[in-house]
Structure 1
Amino acid sequence: MSKRRLLSFQAILFLIGIILVAFNLRSSITAVGPLISIIRIDTNLSNSVIGLLTTLPLLAFGVFSTLAPRIGRKYGNETTVLIALIILTSGILLRSTGMVSALFFGTAMLGLGIAICNVLIPGIVKGRYPEKMGVMTGIYSASMALMAAFASGVSIPLAQGLNLGWQQSLAIWAVLSGMAVLAWLPQTRNQKRPTAISNHSKSSIWTSKLAWQVTLFMGFQSCIFYCIIAWIPEILVSRGIDIPTAGWLLTLTQIVGLPATLLVPILAGRLANQRGIALSIALLYLIGFSGIYFGGSVGVMSLYMSLLGLAQGAGISLSLSLFGLRSQNAYDASNLSGMAQSAGYLIAAMGPLLIGLFFDLFHSWIPAFILIFGMIIAMGVFGFNAGRNQYVFQAEPEKLRA
């Protein structure tokens, strides 16, 4: 086999591996949203406690995201991702046993696995295809969103239509993560060992104002996304929508967002700055949530859910794009990704938990909407600042990145 054909074959294997990994980074979480009420009734848990099923993975993202770059530098990013996929598969299976303790422990495990992949994949892509960062990020984020949408839509049909129950409905996603393990194995054979970083730049990523702006944009857009995943079906039911339709409206939201998920990274890479994209995302969210608050027919609600879909599709892909756009190399991209996903997901973890708590306290969705509108405004402000054309260490070239 010629060297050119070998490189092409390796590129195809890498693309397949990236897509299958991306398939697993949201599906095991989004599959839970439509099943929340069924799980709550079966386990006799409160709204605030059941909200932990969405919050625990986010807490895992927050706690372990800063550790992922260090582990990756020690064992290699590709090998670390493989281990993370095995942990993810184990967590999915444990969560599906039906025991309440295993439900939460397994959820935390899958959150750990996803956290590591979340952080390291942007750095791997930046290192292998720096000139194609926008296209690769678009494919990666679109694949993630596509399977997340599918998972939301099939949860109720699997649990009720095929009489699998919520346990087996959630267990099915271990098949997909197992496929990702097999597809990623070739990437560990010739992985690039981390290159040494010169001593001319020793400043911590946590001291960068721009890095914090990227982090807070990441945090608030993620918080809104997971609030939608966890509670929008319940909110729609309170507006007169039946449970299966609410689940499919959540799927519609994610399907509609796919074009934005794919195209925004490409557009972001070609623009001088990304401020206009960030403000557009905030505006779409404001209109969509306002419409859902006032309610309407299924057709009208479908329109507003579609606006949420465009916003969330653009939001996650812009966040992932900023890790590369605001960094000069793969090392900085991994560190920025680790910071943004650590602090960002700790912020995101509070949203679903607070919404469940507010509903238990006030028996109304009004406090939830007030919280969401506040997050949208904050996201727009930080996204506007994070969108300026600058690298995180551009203003401090003589300090050392830690």
Structure 2
Amino acid sequence: MSQNTQPKSGRRWMLVALVVLVALNLRPFLTAPGPVLMEIVADTGMGYASLALLTLLPMMLMGIGAFVSPVLQAMIGTRRGILWALLLLAAGCGLRLGATDASLLMITAALCGAGVAFIQAVFPGIIKAEFPNDIPLVTGLYSAMLMGGGGLGARLTPLLVNQGAGWRAALALLAAPALVAFAAAFFILSDTRSRRPARSLTGRLLGRPRTWTLILAFGLVNAGYSSIVAWLAPYYQALGWSSSDGGSLVALMAVCQAVAALGLPILARRNIDRRSFLFLTLLMQATGFAGLAFLPQVAPIVWVGLCGAGLGSSFALAIVTALDHLPRPEEAGVLVALMQGGGFLIASLGPFATAFLHGISGSFAAGWMMHLICIAGVLFLYLRFDPAHYPRAMQMSFEPPSPERQGI
């Protein structure tokens, strides 16, 4: 399909449905364990460092996998890769039914992280190719559903546990929506046409300083997300809240993420200079983390909501901004993949660093203050994203797509 035309109406809506179904599956495996960590500890005896690995390990794999994914995409194609990735995600979730100790839980987290890594790496490129005139809108929808799925996982898991399902069964049920997404992708992606990236593209993009600026900004922001997903519920449980109430806070954060991830890209769509909106996302995050650190009991809904809105909108706008840097979908998609790959490696350290600071200070508040420092650093990185400088920042010789890279 030409990148200057939109999909036909029927196919367009099927692709929108696929965006929703796939995105909903990309975060529940991360957010679901948080509200039931105390139950997991009681059954497995895991400590804070081990619990942090449930978030750190998959995010590291999501990071490493994003560097590998463009090569795999070039070798096996987009459709086949997405189908295998969804099966891997479903297997990782389903196997948690038999996770009797920490090592088995880590294996399931690794499987989920590996599957999500490929999907996150290739999906922005699909959006740019299939919706060239609506990139901010569809990217916002994708990000909103991604965040909303995280909220559903955080809310449903403690509810199922309270109904007697047990934490293993509650976590394993997340395999069902992954299988639904697999079925949808099998039929909807069967006739898509998307160019595969050149195998040398990854190395050439990594030679550009702008790629590393995108990686660092994305990583420092999402370190806040990984920390809050891992430790928000335990933080408030330590302050006397129940596991269900802690899960509700994570769910609220995800709802605010979803609304902002959809809304802010729509507001920013008329101006390719996204910096003022990126600064707004940082202001929301800073206010939220400051409230969590210094006044956690005063207005927790406000602080969590601001953190969620700032993190969700920043995620969506970061993808849009990276896609803006290059005109060809297959090239821009790889740039986003690298941004997410390096970014998630940085972000994976968030829960571990927060747990380390908790061990020193006795409170998660030290971790929230650490993220305030990260936000200040990202502010200076965002100043560099002037669209007038994108061609020079990404100036490089791209080989024309060869016939064998056509189709998936």
On the 8 A contact 2:70/2:199 being kept in 1, the answer is: no
> Partners in 1 of 2:123 and 2:90 — Cα distance?
18
Q: Does 1:245 align with 2:245?
A: yes
Structure 1 position 239, deviation (Å)? 3.3
Structure 1's 96 and 383: CA in aligned 2 closer, same or farther, altered over 3 A?
farther
Aligned partner of 1:326 in structure 2 is 325
Aligned partner of 2:209 in structure 1 is 209
On the 8 A contact 2:355/2:364 being kept in 1, the answer is: no
Structure 1 position 9, deviation (Å)? 2.2
Structure 1 position 19, deviation (Å)? 0.8
Which amino acid in 1 is paired with 2:94? L
> Partners in 2 of 1:71 and 1:63 — Cα distance?
13
Give the TM-score taking structure 2 as reference length. 0.90
Structure 1 position 43, deviation (Å)? 0.7
Contiguous gaps of at least 5 residues in structure 1: 1-5
Structure 1's 318 and 43: CA in aligned 2 closer, same or farther, altered over 3 A?
same
> Partners in 2 of 1:45 and 1:131 — Cα distance?
49
On the 8 A contact 1:214/1:322 being kept in 2, the answer is: no
On the 8 A contact 2:293/2:369 being kept in 1, the answer is: no
SS at match of 2:300: helix
Structure 1's 391 and 117: CA in aligned 2 closer, same or farther, altered over 3 A?
farther
Which amino acid in 2 is paired with 1:342? G
Structure 1 position 330, deviation (Å)? 1.0
SS at match of 2:8: helix
Q: How does 1:141-290 map to 2 (within 5 A)?
A: 141-159=143-161, 161-192=162-193, 194=195, 204-290=204-290
Structure 1 position 265, deviation (Å)? 2.0
After superposing the two structures, state which structure 1 stretch, 360-369 or 131-140, moved more.
360-369
Aligned partner of 2:105 in structure 1 is 103
Give the TM-score taking structure 1 as reference length. 0.91
Aligned partner of 2:131 in structure 1 is 129
SS at match of 1:25: coil
> Partners in 2 of 1:63 and 1:55 — Cα distance?
12
The aligned length equals 393
On the 8 A contact 1:215/1:343 being kept in 2, the answer is: yes
Structure 1 position 195, deviation (Å)? 5.7
Structure 1 position 193, deviation (Å)? 5.0
Aligned partner of 1:3 in structure 2 is none
> Partners in 2 of 1:134 and 1:330 — Cα distance?
14
Aligned partner of 1:50 in structure 2 is 51
Structure 1 position 16, deviation (Å)? 1.3
SS at match of 2:121: helix
> Partners in 2 of 1:10 and 1:219 — Cα distance?
34
Structure 1 position 295, deviation (Å)? 2.9
Structure 1's 343 and 396: CA in aligned 2 closer, same or farther, altered over 3 A?
closer
RMSD: 2.4
Q: Does 1:356 align with 2:355?
A: yes
Structure 1 position 71, deviation (Å)? 1.3
Structure 1's 191 and 75: CA in aligned 2 closer, same or farther, altered over 3 A?
farther
Aligned partner of 1:63 in structure 2 is 64
> Partners in 1 of 2:294 and 2:199 — Cα distance?
56
On the 8 A contact 2:87/2:182 being kept in 1, the answer is: yes
Q: Deviations over 1:159-216 (max 9, x none)?
A: 1x211111011011000101000011123422325267699x9971112222222211
Structure 1's 353 and 303: CA in aligned 2 closer, same or farther, altered over 3 A?
same
> Partners in 2 of 1:247 and 1:168 — Cα distance?
17
Identity over aligned pairs, percent: 24
On the 8 A contact 1:14/1:187 being kept in 2, the answer is: yes
On the 8 A contact 2:322/2:336 being kept in 1, the answer is: yes
Contiguous gaps of at least 5 residues in structure 2: 1-6, 401-408
On the 8 A contact 2:126/2:194 being kept in 1, the answer is: no
> Partners in 2 of 1:57 and 1:391 — Cα distance?
35
Structure 1's 198 and 31: CA in aligned 2 closer, same or farther, altered over 3 A?
closer
SS at match of 2:59: helix
